[in-house]
Structure 1
């Protein structure tokens, strides 16, 4: 229960105390935007020519080197064009990361320009946006394959072990909210099957590399016909096709998901080849992501997203797992 009310007040005070390092007045209005892995605040009327978003990192998750690596990728994507994502805003001294003290704990803070737009929802033309997203994902993957990463580039690896195995980054799926013994047996069998199928897919350069890993609807901004990407905080090394599974986070059960998948594949193929055999692996990554999010909800129970999902999400995971196992029986 990291993000209780008192904690968020301390974070806001810490960000306000650091504003002068960006040449922003400490009286600037700050408003909490989101609480997820991190806490983000919007600073309005900053005097910098636009609003800014301040991201306060969750403690003991990313190292400074990992954050620097994320920002280096964002800078490279922006420099090469074709990807719309907020610009990291340097401090007065040129650095991109500020440290604030939170009751003896050092917290890393990064500022980004604020981009207009809204999260797409089920009332939007999601099929059309997913075709565009498929092309964007392919562009990200093409750049990641060709890009010479700076020395010391460090990001987490999202593989079976770090998702559902012995070293889970987001907690143990076995702690899923409301998980019964019967449900646990179903998910255990599913995890074992996922491990085998992922081993068969492999991690060669054609299938595994640097990905965003979290381009769910909440991390997309629709502004007219523009689609911007935000929150590269979970970018790391994983299967390229995992990016689609991340895109349908929390809507994996919806009946329109197959249409979104077909649109995404069509968009992807406008930029990179994707064989039918490769596309057939997408359900594996959807199941993998769903179990990962079940673990995340349990380990981040104080966040609004986790509270909104709760036990019904675990129940839905079991239902999807039963269908997944039945399809492979």
Structure 2
């Protein structure tokens, strides 16, 4: 399909693009770029994500189906990113385009909300690099704590995004996506996790998907991105997600480091407490939060993975944990 065969009609921040073809072609037409200059990234579970060069600068374009995220919800995400940057906590910022940050793209029979973001400086952290050490873990934890200090400015009562609460411990509908045999363990951990009283120290607007794939490192500077899942929740969930994925990668790439879980745990928490309060009740939430992350990822991986040998093995281990009530990692390994 030739780009000139596309019809483009602009209506404020809404763009109506007609014609067959891939999403890349529509983005090229919208931004006035050569389609070859639009490169797909790994992206997210529900999003189309591409790298582009726009007006001579590296950018990221994210398309989210309108049916899955309202404009108000995206505005709240972008407000949080703005607050972070205003408080010197680096986060990949949205780019103003034609007077707005959020654009509505109608592509064939679907409607998307599109946002253009600055591309974060630096690279993904290198697990095999010598810089992946105790000092790095502390800085990582301090960055999370700094984010959580800013999150207190997001007021729960005015937000439209999902919230985890005692009354609604499963806003992501994890239980409904799991086989029946996995639900008892997950339900138990959701209940345990939400027993911690909410306070300024324990609860707030958090990233909610803060693994190392959503963080770039440039020397000693961290920049987070992909706040699409941000919501009100207990703050320990961000630390648990970080720990979950760091342990996974660390054990995979550095299996000889037997003390790595303990060093990671202590580094992250020591860094966190250097800038943000960390109560005993928050610390007690780590184990149930890890189990919740396990349960959240199981249906995602079951659907998205191509089932290579290592993926089959990892998924089988998840099934054993969820069925038999086995922790993601035993506390004695990291405490």
Please give the TM-score of this superposition, normalised by the length of structure 1: 0.79
Deviation of residue 110 (structure 1)? 0.3
Distance 2:159 2:77 in 1: 8
Distance 2:298 2:304 in 1: 14
Distance 1:152 1:199 in 2: 21
* 1:47 corresponding residue in structure 2: 55
* 1:32 corresponding residue in structure 2: 40
User: Equivalent of 1:154, from 137, 160, 167?
Assistant: 160
User: Equivalent of 1:128, from 135, 138, 147?
Assistant: 135
Contact in 2 for aligned 1:209/1:240 (Cα 8 Å)? yes
Change (3 A) 1:100 1:277: closer
Distance 2:159 2:107 in 1: 27
Structure 1 gaps, min length 5: 1-7, 176-183
Specify which structure has the bigger relative contact order, considering alpha-carbon pairs within 8 angstroms and separated by 6 or more residues: 1
Deviation of residue 213 (structure 1)? 0.8
Alignment RMSD: 3.2
- Partner-residue secondary structure (3-state), 1:263: helix
* 1:17 corresponding residue in structure 2: 29
Change (3 A) 1:57 1:194: same
* 1:5 corresponding residue in structure 2: none
* 2:326 corresponding residue in structure 1: 323
* 1:181 corresponding residue in structure 2: none
* 2:15 corresponding residue in structure 1: none
Distance 1:219 1:210 in 2: 17
Contact in 1 for aligned 2:175/2:186 (Cα 8 Å)? no
Deviation of residue 68 (structure 1)? 1.0
* 1:66 corresponding residue in structure 2: 73
| Paired residues, number | 298
**1:276-287 matches, cutoff 5 A:** 276-287=280-291
Distance 1:216 1:319 in 2: 23
Change (3 A) 1:15 1:249: farther
